[in-house]
Structure 1
Amino acid sequence: MREAIVHRLSMRAPDDVAPLLAAIGEGTIRPEGIVGILGKTEGNGCVNDFTRAFAIRALRDALAPHVGAERLDEISMVMSGGTEGALSPHMLVLERRENGSGPSPALAIGSTRTADLAFEHLGRREQVLMVADGVRAAMADAGFTDPADVHFVQIKCPLLTAERIAEAEARGASVATRDTLKSMGLSRGASALGVALALGEIDETSIGNDVIGRDMSVFSSRASTSGGVELLDHEIVVLGMSDEWCGDLVVDHAVMVDQIDAESVRASLMRLGFSGNGQIAAAERPRLKALLAKAEAGSTGSLRGHRHTMLDDSDISSTRHARAFVAGVLAGLVGHSEIFVSGGAEHQGPDGGGPVALIASRPDDGISITTGRA
């Protein structure tokens, strides 16, 4: 049986691969088994955030001698820019090994990459369908046959630049928007709807171009999508629980209804066997291997009846405000700030909220866990 292993490594800079190389040298990480690397980098998370590409270049250079060019291209490297507030730059190395040991069901990981997306299809129905096919392929890679076994889907998707818009228009094609920053939201939203379609959360007949980026009542409860200038395709990583996998790690998910909905995440922690009173104790924290979340300012301009100014700030994108705000809420629960918070939750959870995934090792004291099917 296959076994999934998750390594969380701190980063001193976007190109800091020293902890990764040290873990490989010590044998803690087996590079041939790396499925994906999810990283938080300290750029602005917007169109011109090249810290993501910088980090990917460093990772590829570090791994190339260990895995070879062909295998290197199969590894999903999802870099999410923006570590506002006290968010700590770090990477999550997702590894799987054959002939694992331990109890089952357990965390299972699948991944894939799609073909390049035509620029005129970004933010439109064609992107939704492409991503849905990609999610199904990633599920097959992990051996998932039932969407109910999937707890979280992490996607890196492309965006539009002035050059890409000009290339499409030179061919006589039109793009969904000429605003490059808005293209990130449309790409994230279409990708999220692709997840919803693949997981059976929505029906294909409900997807039209008039829905994408507009009707936020249509969403996935298990999608996390992040846009970037550093790619033209989609990198897709699927996390879930499977009877065909074994090991010490388990995964659960929650859906925050708004930016301060700590209780839904607390409930997930309790399902994973953590104590539910206040911040998790220092002795328990090593069990929590990863916390991934979406952050969104929401479209109403208010939070539980009180006005906020995230949408009115012309100096700082609302996604940057939301990342810092939600990260503070989550850090208060788990007691550290190495949290993968991605901004922009279009069609990812309810308007103003967002999905959360938690990966943890099983308790040593016999406390039962209740995570299972989504």
Structure 2
Amino acid sequence: MKVEVFPLAQSGPDDLSGLINLIETGRLDPKTIVAILGKTEGNGCVNDFTRGFAVATLQAYLRPLIGDAATEQIVFVMSGGTEGVLSPHMTVFTRQSEGLTGPTQPGLALGVCHTRDFAVEEIGTLTMVQVVAEGVKGAIAAAGLACEDVHFVQIKCPLITASRQGRGAITQDSYKSMAYSRGASALGVALALGEIQPAELRAEDICANYDLYSTVASTSAGVELRNCEILVLGNAAESHSDCCIGHSVMAHALDAGAIHRAIASAQGAGGGDRIVNIFAKAEADPTGRVLGHRHTMLDDSDISHTRMARAVVGAVIAATVQNPMVYVSGGSEHQGPPGGGPIAVICKRG
């Protein structure tokens, strides 16, 4: 497998100029695209339509090039919210499996999966956990990885809107449904990777028992889909990729040390000095304190705490690596310890 990663700056959610240039100059074959992660400049909440706008724009461009079926197989993960210094961009992942020659080396491998659509009453429940866990296992198998080789699992998951509420829904609050969906999806990752055991997990633990979490899960909820789209990233012993991935876990929003540990992890796996992109989760610490000091992110009725957390963590990462074009997603329920979150780094040789 040969995996390539292309971070592309965007002037807006519908700006495909960077992608079009790569394709028209022959540097990227659109038939090899398997996943596109984006940071769009909406509010990252329920009514952030920049996510769906970005996906629709990409699909409309790619369908004439690669066909409907191939376009539907691509994992599109758009994370809304570029607060603070975060710079809007997309990261395109390609995978080539045939016609490869030359020696192999340790390098990046990936697998993807699309789950079935979820009924409204399944979102945020144990059923969702189990379906996601099976999807993650399938993506790991498609990547040819073992669980210990996995460094990052990105999932786009659905939410509950007012028009889609049902009797058995876990909540009637659309915004809260984002947290339940993210949390259940993250627990599915933890279950698939053996980070938690089935006997440890009860329905009432979802978005309640934060001692249960994954160290590599990153989940993002949106109104633009009804299933889960899963991207698994890890390192294979025999790869044709020039990239490697590593990860760490931020213990809190200001944990710059975790950034350095994630970089060292990627470089230690065989990656070079060039950072391709950084992917992190952000959350306002539910205790209301950061490093022993009170914060007010959870008490502000004007601005969502997920937006504030993205701005803080985005600034910490950008300042550390001197690049604001990084992927930071808000809301880290069961994704790392409370107040923290997983962080992954892709580095490239040469």
1: distance between equivalents of 2:101 and 2:109? 12
- Structure 1 residue 102 displacement after superposition: 5.3
Write out per-residue CA displacement over residues 105-134 of structure 1, whole angstroms, 9 at most, x where no aligned residue. 210011010000111011110000010011
Write out per-residue CA displacement over residues 204-244 of structure 1, whole angstroms, 9 at most, x where no aligned residue. 11121110000111100000000000000000000000124
The residue type paired with residue 90 of structure 1 is H
- Structure 1 residue 343 displacement after superposition: 0.1
2: distance between equivalents of 1:89 and 1:339? 9
The residue type paired with residue 141 of structure 2 is A
The residue type paired with residue 71 of structure 1 is A
Quote the residue 2:347 is aligned against: 360
Quote the residue 2:66 is aligned against: 67
Quote the residue 1:369 is aligned against: none
1: distance between equivalents of 2:114 and 2:102? 29
2:247, 2:266 within 8 Å by CA — same for their partners in 1?
A: no
Write out per-residue CA displacement over residues 27-68 of structure 1, whole angstroms, 9 at most, x where no aligned residue. 111111101000000000000000000000100011111110
The answer to whether 1:77 aligns with 2:76 is: yes
2:151, 2:344 within 8 Å by CA — same for their partners in 1?
A: yes
Quote the residue 2:263 is aligned against: 269
Rate the CA distance shift 1:314–1:101 in 2: closer, same or farther, 3 A.
Answer: farther
Quote the residue 1:348 is aligned against: 335
Secondary structure of 1:183's counterpart equals helix
The answer to whether 1:320 aligns with 2:314 is: no
2: distance between equivalents of 1:201 and 1:122? 22
The residue type paired with residue 37 of structure 1 is I
The answer to whether 1:17 aligns with 2:11 is: no
Quote the residue 2:46 is aligned against: 47
Secondary structure of 1:227's counterpart equals strand
TM-score, normalised via structure 1 length: 0.90
The residue type paired with residue 77 of structure 1 is F
2: distance between equivalents of 1:6 and 1:295? 23
Rate the CA distance shift 1:43–1:360 in 2: closer, same or farther, 3 A.
Answer: same
Matches within 5 A, 1:114-125: 114-125=115-126
Rate the CA distance shift 1:105–1:210 in 2: closer, same or farther, 3 A.
Answer: same
Structure 1 consecutive aligned stretches of length 4 or more whose deviation exceeds 6 Å: none
The answer to whether 1:201 aligns with 2:168 is: no
Quote the residue 1:279 is aligned against: none
RMSD: 1.4
1:157, 1:191 within 8 Å by CA — same for their partners in 2?
A: yes
1:3, 1:100 within 8 Å by CA — same for their partners in 2?
A: no
Name which of 253, 257, 260 aligns with 2:247. 253
The answer to whether 1:295 aligns with 2:282 is: yes
2: distance between equivalents of 1:222 and 1:272? 14
Of 35-44 and 239-248, deviating more is: 239-248
1: distance between equivalents of 2:176 and 2:132? 19
Secondary structure of 2:297's counterpart equals coil
Write out per-residue CA displacement over residues 303-329 of structure 1, whole angstroms, 9 at most, x where no aligned residue. 011011100000111000000000000
Matches within 5 A, 1:167-206: 168-169=166-167, 174-206=168-200
Rate the CA distance shift 1:220–1:66 in 2: closer, same or farther, 3 A.
Answer: same
1:38, 1:91 within 8 Å by CA — same for their partners in 2?
A: yes
Rate the CA distance shift 1:118–1:101 in 2: closer, same or farther, 3 A.
Answer: farther
The answer to whether 1:226 aligns with 2:220 is: yes
Secondary structure of 2:244's counterpart equals strand
Identity, in percent, stands at 49
Secondary structure of 1:237's counterpart equals strand
Write out per-residue CA displacement over residues 267-307 of structure 1, whole angstroms, 9 at most, x where no aligned residue. 22234449xxxxxxxx95xx111100000002100101101
Number of aligned residues: 345
Rate the CA distance shift 1:344–1:101 in 2: closer, same or farther, 3 A.
Answer: farther
1:192, 1:347 within 8 Å by CA — same for their partners in 2?
A: yes
Quote the residue 2:151 is aligned against: 151
2:258, 2:343 within 8 Å by CA — same for their partners in 1?
A: no
Quote the residue 1:371 is aligned against: none
1:102, 1:247 within 8 Å by CA — same for their partners in 2?
A: no
- Structure 1 residue 100 displacement after superposition: 5.6
The residue type paired with residue 226 of structure 1 is S
1: distance between equivalents of 2:181 and 2:72? 22
Of 51-60 and 199-208, deviating more is: 199-208
2: distance between equivalents of 1:106 and 1:302? 39
1: distance between equivalents of 2:267 and 2:231? 25
2: distance between equivalents of 1:235 and 1:359? 20
Secondary structure of 2:301's counterpart equals coil
The answer to whether 1:132 aligns with 2:126 is: no
- Structure 1 residue 142 displacement after superposition: 1.0
1: distance between equivalents of 2:203 and 2:35? 31
Secondary structure of 2:205's counterpart equals coil
- Structure 1 residue 245 displacement after superposition: 2.1
Of 96-105 and 323-332, deviating more is: 96-105
1:154, 1:224 within 8 Å by CA — same for their partners in 2?
A: yes
2:104, 2:238 within 8 Å by CA — same for their partners in 1?
A: no
Quote the residue 2:110 is aligned against: 109
2: distance between equivalents of 1:214 and 1:100? 50
Quote the residue 1:95 is aligned against: 94
